[in-house]
Structure 1
Amino acid sequence: MLTVAPSGRWLERDHDPWFLLGDTAWELFHRLDLDDADHYLRTRAEQGFNTVFAVGVAEFGGLDEPNANGQVPFIDRRPDQPDERYWHHVDTIITMANQYGLVVALLPTWGTYWADAGEAILHPGNAAQFGSWIAARYRDSDLIWVLGGDRYIETSRHRATLDALAKGIRETVGHRQLITVHPRGHASSKNDLSDATWIDFDLVQSGHVGWHTPNDALIAADYDRPPLRPVLEGEPNYEDHPVMTPDWLPVPGWVFGATDVRRSLYHAIFAGAAGFVYGANGVYQMLDSDTPDPVHGRATSWRAALDLPGASQATHGAHLLRELGPGWTPAPHRLRSAPGFLSGRVMVLDRNTPTEVLVYLPPGATATIDTEDLGCAPSGRWWSTVTGRWRTADLTAQPTTVNPDQDVDTILHIAARPA
C-alpha cells in the first residue's frame, strides 16, 4: 500500500521509502491492443520503472475515436452510460500492469473533458457519480488517482468539478489509494489547489518550453509553501520531443535528448523530489507509422522509442536512491563556490546518519564543497549518470574541490572514513 511518509516529503510502500519512477503512456488504453500493451508494460518493468501514467478517456479523440478494439468509453458521450467493452479492455491492461509489478497512475479523463467548452462532459452535477463509479471499478488495483490532465483551473466550475470528482473517488476508496493532480506546463498542482484536502502529493510540470526549465525551483517553491506534501516532477522535457517556444511552436531541428532527461531528473532529485515521471515523444502518444495527425509531426515509433537512451539512464537515478537509502535533504549551504545557473547548476544533498554528501555536477563544472565535518580524509567515489557505475574519487583537499574530467554530468558521493 502506498502512503505519504510522516515527514511529508516522501512516499512509502508498506512503510519503506519509495521513489516513484514513472513512464508517460497517455494513450495506452486507447491505441494499444492487449499484445502491444503487454510488450510495453513488460519492457518498462524490465527496465526498472515502477509506475505508468495512462488516461481512461484519452487526450486524442478519446470520446469519439474508437480504441484498438473498435469501442468508445461511453454511449452517446454520457459518463453515466459507460460501454463495458471499452472499460473491460482498461481493466485487463491495469491487471496486466499490476502483474508486472507496475503501479498504474490513472487519469480518469484528460482535462479536455472537464475544462474545454464543447468537450466537457463532466461538471459539478455528475463528476462525483462518475468518480464513485470508476473508483469502485479499480478500488482493489495497485493504483494512484491523477486528476487534472494538463489544464488550468480557471473558473469556479472547474474547481467544483474536480472537487466533486475527488469526493466520489475518496468516499469510495478511502485512503487505500493516493490522489494527485497533473497540472499545466511550468506550474504545480499546488498553484490552484493548496487548500484541497483530498490531494496527497503534488506534481509539477516543468514542460517542454526552452532548453531548460528549472524544475528544481518549482519543486523548492512547493516545499516552501504550506501545506507540506511530497512533490514530484510529473512532466519534464520528453525525450525526442521538439524544444518548444513560449508560443508553443517547435524550434526547427531541436529536440530534447538523454542529456536533457538526466538534467531534469537530477535537478528534481537534488531539490528533494519524491519521484520523477519520464516521457518519450513516441511513447506518450503511442505513435505508429499509421497514427493519424501525430503531435508535432513524425517521431520515433513507440516500440523503437522504448529503447531511447534516456529511459535506461532515468532508471539509474532511481537505483542510486535505492542503493544509498533514505534521509537525503538539499544542502546548498555546503557549496562554497558559485552554484551556476540553469543547466550549469551544481546541487548538493547531505544526510547525518551517517554523515554523507552527494554532489551533482554538470559537464565540466568545478565545485568547492564544505566537508570539514567528514574528517581530514573523506572517501569519495564518482557515479556515472550514463552507465550507473561507480569509480573511486581521489579527495585530498579541505574543503573538497572537484572538477571531473568528463563531458557528461556526474555525481560525487563523499563519506567520512570509518574510525
Structure 2
Amino acid sequence: LAELEGVDDPNPYGDLPLVNRDPTKPAVTPGANPADAKAYDYWDHVDYIIDQANARGIYVALLPTWGRYVNAKSGNNHDESLLTAANAATYGEFLGKRYRNKSVIWILGGDRTATGFEPVWRELAKGIAIGVAGKEDYDALLMSFHPRGGETSSTWFHNDAWLDFNMHQTGHSRAERTQSWVKIAKDYERTPVKPVIDGEPLYEDHPVEFRARDYGYSFDAHTRPRAYWSVFSGACGHTYGNHSVWQMYAPNRRPINGPLITWDDAMHRPGSGQVQYVRWLVESRPYFSRVPDQTLIADALDGADRIVATRGEDYAFIYSAQGRKFTVNLGKISGSSVKAWWFNPRNGRAAEIETIPNQGTREFTCPSEGFGADWVLVLDDAAKNFGPPGRKGAK
C-alpha cells in the first residue's frame, strides 16, 4: 500500500490494491493477461515488477503497507488505521502466500514510529510468516522494520523472533546531527546479536534537513560518507536513495519537497554509481573477519570530519570523510609489515603507497582535503599479497 495516496489513487493502469479500502479484501481478478485490463489487476503488476527484478538477480524489499495506514492519531493528518491488530494477519497471510516463492525481503513499518501500534506490526509479521510457511515460522523469511527519522527498529522489536535485522532511519540532516556512526554502533553491540542497516540515510538531491534555503541540497559528497560511516561502524550494508526517484517525480506529478530533476534523469546521478564501490572494497578482503575498531585511530574527529575504522585479522580500512590527516595505531592486524594503499570512493580506484613496519604510530596525509575529498586508507598484512583493494571480483 503505497505512501502517496496508494489506497485511493489508482496505479497507471487504473487499478487499486483493495476493495472498498479493506485490507482483508485485496482487489484480485481472474487472469493476469496485461492485454486484458479487466484481468490484469494491481497485484498482477506487483507480480510483474518482482519477477523482473528477480530475473536480474535483484531482491525486492517489499513493504506491505506504508506506516500512514497504521498510525492513526500520529499527529499527521493523513494517517489512519486501515490496518489494525484485528485484520493485519489476514492481509499479511495473503501477501505471504502470494510471494512466498519470490526473492523478497519483507520490510514492515514505513516511516512511522511503532509506539502504540506494536500489536499491529506483530500481527502483520505473523500473518506473512503463516502465508509463507503455513505456520508461524520466521526462519522461512527475512524481515525488518523501517522506522521514522531518528529511530531504530531495535527500540520496539529487537527481541522479537520475526525481526531478523535492525533498521535505522538516520534521516536527511547534517552529519553532526545524525551521527550515524554512533547509532549503528549501538545496535551492532546489542544482544542477541542481529545485523543492522541504515534503511534511510540522507538521499542525494534532497533538501538538507528539509530546509533548502538554509542548507541547500545534498549531492554525492553528502551521500558517500553516510555509506562508509555506517558500514565501517558495523552495518551489514547500506541504502542509497535519490529524492526524485523515491517519489517517481515527473512533470505530470505533484512535487514533494522540491525535487530538482525527474526520476529518470536522477537515476544517473553520481552517487548512484559510487555506492557500489563500498561493496567492491569490503568484498575485496576477507569479509566475515571484519569488525569495527576505532582504536586504530588516534583522533577520530567528529561531525562532517568523522574518521571511522574497521579491520579484519590481516587488513584494515580507515575512512576520512573530508580528507583530514590522521594518525594510525599500528600493530592491530597480523604481519611484521603492512602494505598501504589509498582507495578513492569517488571512482573505486586504488593506488599503492608503500610498505612499512607494523608497529608504533604513523601519520597519513590524504591525497586531497576538503568537502567531497574523502579517502580510505587500506592497510594489508604484506605477507598476504592481497590485490588492489576494491577491485571488482577480487577475493
Q: Same fold (TM over 0.5)?
A: yes
Q: Are positions 1:200 and 2:164 aligned together? A: yes
1:109-188 → structure 2 map (5 Å cutoff): 109-117=65-73, 119-155=80-116, 158-173=117-132, 174=137, 175-188=139-152
Report Cα offsets for 1:114-172 as digits up to 9, x if no partner: 113562211011100110011100000000100000111221xx111111101111122
The structure 1 residue matched to 2:340, chosen from 380, 389, 412, is 380
Partner of 1:46: none
Q: Where does residue 51 of structure 1 map in the other structure?
A: none
Alignment of 1:13-162 (within 5 A): 57-84=1-28, 85-117=41-73, 119-155=80-116, 158-162=117-121
Match of 1:11? none
For 1:403, which of 337, 344, 365 is the aligned residue? Answer: 365
In the alignment, the residues of structure 2 paired with residue 163 and residue 280 of structure 1 have an alpha-carbon distance, to the nearest angstrom, of 30
- Report if the CA contact (8 A) 2:224-2:345 is conserved: yes
Amino acid at match of 2:189: D
| Structure with the bigger percentage of strand | 1
Structure 1 residue 390: deviation in Å?
Answer: 0.9
Instruction: Name the CA distance, whole Å, in 2 between partners of 1:132 and 1:411.
Output: 46
Larger radius of gyration: 2
Q: Which residue of 1 aligns with 2:351?
A: 391
- Structure 1 equivalent of residue 31 of structure 2: none
Contact map agreement 2:175 2:303 (CA 8 A) in 1 = no
Instruction: Decide which of 294, 303, 321 is 2:282's aligned counterpart.
Output: 321
Letter in 2 for 1:415: D
1:238 lines up with 2:198 in the alignment: no
Name the CA shift for 1:170/1:249 in 2 (closer, same or farther; >3 Å).
same
Distance 2:150 2:245 in 1: 22
| Contact 2:355/2:382 (<8 A) preserved | no
Q: Are the aligned partners of 1:250 and 1:296 in contact in 2 as well (CA < 8 Å)?
A: no
Identity across matched positions, percent: 32
d(CA) in 1 for partners of 2:226, 2:181: 8
Match of 2:330 among 349, 357, 371: 371
Aligned partner of 1:42 in structure 2 is none
Q: TM-score, normalised by structure 1?
A: 0.81
Q: How far did 1:289 drift?
A: 1.1
- Distance, in Å, in 1 between the alignment partners of 2:365 and 2:198 is 28
- Superposed CA RMSD in Å reads 1.7
Give the match's secondary structure for 1:310.
helix
Stretches of structure 2 lacking an aligned partner (at least 5 in a row): 29-40, 74-78, 385-395
Offset at 1:374?
4.9
Give the deviation of 1:321 after TM superposition.
Answer: 1.5
Aligned residue pair count: 354
TM-score, normalised via structure 2 length: 0.86
SS at match of 1:221: helix
Distance between the aligned counterparts of 1:194 and 1:362, measured in 2?
31
Equivalent residue for 1:228? 193
State the shift of 1:362 in Å: 2.3
